[in-house]
């Protein structure tokens, strides 16, 4: 039950809006500024659309489009004008927001990053996409892990991005860290439609979590994104599902308290607990071992499929990218994001590129 999309909000409910944002074309700083303004306007639309909404979610690539352009002049930073505009929009509309940026990286390719900003303008979650959609995407692999943050009305939120959701370990890690609502933003196009639906449902059921997922929508003249925002309950059923209408905001009320009840009260199909407590009817506490070979091999740096030597696509050259020479340096400690006061700079008419030059991007 979704409370008629959140119109009848319950005491323990969290109402989320998923924006099936029109796929933009962004090639210049001027177009970046214009798309920033468009997202700000849609934050306002979300608030006017539904006074009960707690969090509005924008898809991956909602700011930059699907060109895969890594030009330094259109990359963003956390202290740049685009993020400042998103912070101000959340303050002005008294709403939480989830946003996508392509983030400058002085040490390599840009990151595909996501932010959750609260209604006071503070960044509450900062995530770098762990699994870029190879061989199509040129982004640096994320190195900050999968953070979880406190969300509105006592909820616990996590964010994974697009292809992340195709790997069950990602949603499992988010739930293991306590996430009750797993947000998934994407730019997917129609060929991925079936996989999109079943993984959103599986990620919810396997982890006793809600999933709230949304793609870009419409055409940029080359690509056709599919929209299809969807909310899945922790039993894997689809609660609300959108279609392909551009800029439509799909809404639903989620109940994190019911997730907590299921996680502590379910016996049958309490999968995330039973993963490490196998057969507890037969043996006290269940088997608490580590029987999964692929996990053991990953931990020891020896992960290898029986067919690894026969895999043909192992870099981005088939999509026009130069084969990389750098090795992955490993994870970073998560940077502390400075909290901002309620006064946030207005959106500039043209983006100020000085913050990008300062980072060496």
- Active-site positions read 60, 129, 162
Name 150's bridge partners: 156
Measured CA to CA, the distance from residue 24 to residue 256 in angstroms comes to: 34
What is the DSSP-derived secondary structure letter of residue 76? B
Measured CA to CA, the distance from residue 206 to residue 114 in angstroms comes to: 24
Name 97's bridge partners: 56, 117
User: How many CA atoms lie less than 13 Å away from 172 in the CB half-sphere?
Assistant: 13
CA dihedral 19, 20, 26, 31 (to 10 degrees): -50
Output the six-digit token pair for 3: 């409370």
Q: Which of 108, 113, 138 is nearest to 123 (CA)?
A: 113
Q: Residue 202: in which H helix or E strand, if any?
A: helix 193-207
Measured CA to CA, the distance from residue 58 to residue 277 in angstroms comes to: 38
Output the six-digit token pair for 71: 């030009």
User: How many CA atoms lie less than 13 Å away from 144 in the CB half-sphere?
Assistant: 19
Phi, psi of 123 (to 5 degrees): -75, 115
Kindly report whether the peptide bond that precedes residue 135 is cis, defined as omega within 30 degrees of 0.
yes
- Give the angle subtended at the CA of 271 by the CAs of 270 and 276, to the nearest 5°: 110
CA dihedral 180, 152, 42, 78 (to 10 degrees): -90
The residue to which tokens 């690509």 are assigned: 223
CA dihedral 211, 8, 58, 333 (to 10 degrees): -60
């Amino acid at each position: 039950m979704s409370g008629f999309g959140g119109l009848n909000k319950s005491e323990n409910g969290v109402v989320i809006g998923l924006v099936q944002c029109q796929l933009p074309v962004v090639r210049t700083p001027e177009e970046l500024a214009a798309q920033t303004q468009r997202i700000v306007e849609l934050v306002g639309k979300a608030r006017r659309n539904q006074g009960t909404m707690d969090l509005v979610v924008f898809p991956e690539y909602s700011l930059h489009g699907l060109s895969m352009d890594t030009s330094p002049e259109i990359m963003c930073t956390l202290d740049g004008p685009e993020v400042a505009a998103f912070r101000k929009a959340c303050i002005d509309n008294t709403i939480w927001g989830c946003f996508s940026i392509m983030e400058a990286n002085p040490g390599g390719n840009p990151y595909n990053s996501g932010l959750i900003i609260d209604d006071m303008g503070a960044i509450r979650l900062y995530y770098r996409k762990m699994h870029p959609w190879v061989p199509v995407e040129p982004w640096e692999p994320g190195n900050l892990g999968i953070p979880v943050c406190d969300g509105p009305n006592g909820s616990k939120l996590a964010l994974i991005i697009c292809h992340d959701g195709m790997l069950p370990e990602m949603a499992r890690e988010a739930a293991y860290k306590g996430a009750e609502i797993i947000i998934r933003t994407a730019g997917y196009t129609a060929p991925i439609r079936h996989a999109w639906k079943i993984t959103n449902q599986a990620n919810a059921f396997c982890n006793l979590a809600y999933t709230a997922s949304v793609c870009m929508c419409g055409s940029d003249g080359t690509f056709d994104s599919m929209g299809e925002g969807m909310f899945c309950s922790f039993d894997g059923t689809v609660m609300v599902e959108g279609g392909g209408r551009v800029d439509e905001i799909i809404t639903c009320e989620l109940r994190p308290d019911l997730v907590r009840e299921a996680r502590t009260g379910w016996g049958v199909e309490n999968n995330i607990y039973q993963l490490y407590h196998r057969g507890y009817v037969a043996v006290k506490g269940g088997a608490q071992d580590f029987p999964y070979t692929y996990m053991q091999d990953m931990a020891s740096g020896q992960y290898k499929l029986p067919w690894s030597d026969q895999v043909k696509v192992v870099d981005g050259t088939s999509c026009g990218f130069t084969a990389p020479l750098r090795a992955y340096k490993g994870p970073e400690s998560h940077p502390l994001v400075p909290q901002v006061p309620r006064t946030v700079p207005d959106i500039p008419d043209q983006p100020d590129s000085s913050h990008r030059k300062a980072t060496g991007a």
